[in-house]
A and B are shown apart, each in its own frame.
Chain A
Amino acid sequence: MVEVAHNLLLGFQVALTPAVLGYAFLGCVIGTLVGMLPGVGPLTGISLLLPVTFGLNPTIALVMLAGVYYGAMYGGSTTSILMRIPGEAASVMTCVDGYELTRQGRAGAALAIAAIGSFSAGTISVIGLMLLAPPLAAIALKFGPPEYAALLVLGLLVLAFLSGGAMVKTLAMAVLGLLLGTIGIDAMSGFMRFSYGITELADGVGIVPVAVGLFGVSEVLLSARNGAGTRVQQPKLRELLPSRSELRDSAAPIARGTLLGFFIGIVPGSAHVISSFVSYALERRLARDPRRFGRGAIEGVAGPEAANNSAASGALVPLLALGVPSGALPAVMLAALLIHGVTPGPLLIQNNPEIFWGLIASMYVGNLVLLILNLPMIGLFINLLRIPFSYLYPLILVFCVLGVYAINQSAVDIWIMLVMGAAGYVLRKLDFETAPIVLGLILAPMLELSVRQALAMSAGDYAIFFTRPIAAGMLAIAATILLYALWSAFTRRALWRKTVGLEE
């Protein structure tokens, strides 16, 4: 403990030098900016700053890039809440209740809760990162394909809890999403599936174009007729901040989201995207009145936003402690370290303590900076809602097109967004929820690959899923949840039959 305090002191000495502080601030500002633009996510921000860092020392470079990284997590919620455009896959769940709150005139509260949730999650997860990085990294390495598959099976169960409404409709949407996820090159055999000769589809259907289409574009299409009179209620100035009860309702979801996000984030790979979905489903499950979800429940913003931010910090654990990146973003940060001749790996913390501890300390400072930066901006963002709808929706469309195109520089992504926008329009007309499609799309390729990798490891023996303790444990949890859900559905069905029987 004394050692940690000593190291942290060293870190703050690094983090509070004017140069480091300045670059951290710059990183946070750029991160917030790119996070707000749909599609132009943290990956773009970090890669554009990568060449800029050539001339800087490695600590400053890493601090600035990390600023962009977690700054973008803050910015990601803004368009989700105000316009129902998810800036990235992790913000999809924020769209659902966040935008409902905006329609009820509570945009300010939703934005503030998102910022506070992000701040708490950011700060608490850095403590986790600081104290537990090396031991957690050792556990993270135990996560091979079988464990990954078990984790994703848990994620699959989440699908069923994502929304109210008829279960068969939710399941149909989930399967549709999973099916979408099978498009592209099959990673195990090299077969191109359902691509109809379009090379761009080889990597599968992009998550952001689908999310922006299903959520943002479909919303524009649905409200196209009442162009003059928008359905969004104008917020009053004094209602910008969350009420006391909203704050109270958000505290526990933020805490749960933080823990959940951090542990999912540690797992190497891209699973951290699902943390916000899991958090949403968890909050909905725990809520006294789950019917509020989807109609503007503040917990539906607080939990996922915290989980999302916390997962971002968690993803730094394998990078810093092991030198193995989890996901595309840490991979770019790894590259940034390599550029500066710093070899990330198990020896980084020993050999370059100023980098590790400087980064940790700067993350505390950066999160504070972001909170201070974001809270006053809320008043500014709210004004966007005052733009007449006939002006606003063409601008929204431009941002959707721009953001979706900029990710891969691919016009095919615009087509995907268009098709998904039309599909979302029809599906929402027919009372289908679209969030399960996105989660299905995220899960399918990872789940299929990890199951088949595990079978490749074991030469086709399914025992590999049950003989490894972590995988077996998670599958046991999954089985319990499933049995419990079936049982409660069964009893509810019996109850329902009784009432129907009475009516007849």
Chain B
Amino acid sequence: MPERALGADRIAGAALAVFGIYVAWAALEYPFGSLAEPGPALLPFTLAMALAVFGAVMAMSRHPPQRAQHLSFAELPHALVILGVLAAAAVGMERIGYRALVLAMLFFLLAVIERRDVRAAGATAAVMAFGTFYLINDVLRVPLPVGPWGW
């Protein structure tokens, strides 16, 4: 499906170009300095403009890659669930503690999403949560967060 690939590349290029222009605009907030003494804005501005140029080249390219692409997003819902779980991990890590987080995260993924046997999922989650905590926190002495209930 070359038309599809062409479309995807053009859209990606346009997105990169827009992003580049936005970053270049955002970099204007910082001083440029001079060539002899470059300021903090010089490099990001230059790079962002370069990104915009590369994006524009892609968006306007007349020679799309020959390889056909099958852009199917069938796994997207599943991928979004996983990203949601990671977001929950980022929010929950320092609030409910490492063990509770991993317990919940694994049980949710195994039992709810993958529909594995509840007991097996629970056992795996518990072993992983407490096992890795013991390994990292107690054996390797890298402190991991503890929940408000003390574990």
Contact = CB atoms under 8 A, between A and B. Distances in A.
Nearest to A409: B143
B40 A175 contact: no
Interface centre among B57, B61, B83, B128 (most CB of A within 10 A): B83
A201 interface: no
Interface string A161-173: 0000110110110
A455 B34 CA distance: 11
Chain A: interface size category: 35 or more
Contacts of A397: 82, 85-86, 105, 109
A44 B83 contact: no
Nearest to B105: A398
B48 A191 contact: no
B37 interface: yes
Interface stretch (A215-223, A339-347, A470-478): A215-223
Nearest to B93: A411
A40 B144 CA distance: 12
A119 B98 CA distance: 36
Chain B: interface size category: 35 or more
Contacts of B51: 172, 175-176, 179
Interface in A156-197: 165-166, 168-169, 171-172, 175-176, 178-179, 182, 186, 188-189, 191, 193-194
Interface stretch (A246-254, A355-363, A387-395): A387-395
Interface centre among A172, A223, A406, A414 (most CB of B within 10 A): A172
B136 A172 contact: no
Given A175-B54, A220-B82, A390 B136 contact: no
B23 interface: yes
Interface in B94-151: 94, 98, 102, 105-106, 109-110, 114, 116, 124, 128, 132, 136, 140-144
Contacts of A274: none
Contacts of B98: 402
B30 A430 contact: no
B79 A224 contact: yes
A29 to B, nearest CB: 12
A418 B78 CA distance: 15
A469 interface: no
Given A48-B142, A398-B106, A418-B86, A182 B36 contact: no
Contact of B40 (A34, A189, A391, A421): A189
A178 B136 contact: no
A454 B85 CA distance: 46
Nearest to A51: B141
Contacts of A217: 82, 86
A492 interface: no
B142 A189 contact: no
Contacts of A395: 106, 128
B142 A44 contact: yes
Contacts of A452: 37-38
Contact of A189 (B31, B47, B48, B73): B31
Contacts of A417: 86
Contacts of A178: 47
B61 A168 contact: yes
Contacts of B142: 40, 44, 48, 406
Interface in A256-315: none
A223 B51 CA distance: 29
Contact of B110 (A44, A45, A191, A391): A391
B90 A390 contact: no
Contacts of A37: 136
A227 B140 contact: no
A172 B44 contact: no
Interface centre among A44, A444, A452 (most CB of B within 10 A): A452
Contacts of B27: 193
Contact of B105 (A220, A223, A394, A422): A394
Interface string B6-50: 001100110010000001001100110011111110011001101
Interface in A451-473: 451-452, 455-456, 459-461
Interface in B61-85: 61, 65, 67, 69, 71, 73-75, 78-79, 82-83, 85
Interface of B: 5, 8-9, 12-13, 16, 23, 26-27, 30-31, 34-40, 43-44, 47-48, 50-51, 54-55, 57-58, 61, 65, 67, 69, 71, 73-75, 78-79, 82-83, 85-87, 89-91, 93-94, 98, 102, 105-106, 109-110, 114, 116, 124, 128, 132, 136, 140-144
9 contacts: A166-B65, A175-B50, A188-B40, A221-B79, A398-B105, A401-B86, A414-B93, A418-B90, A425-B79
Given A188-B40, A394-B110, A406-B144, 17 more contacts: A40-B136, A48-B140, A171-B50, A172-B54, A175-B47, A175-B50, A179-B23, A179-B44, A179-B47, A225-B78, A226-B75, A397-B82, A397-B86, A411-B93, A459-B36, A460-B35, A460-B36
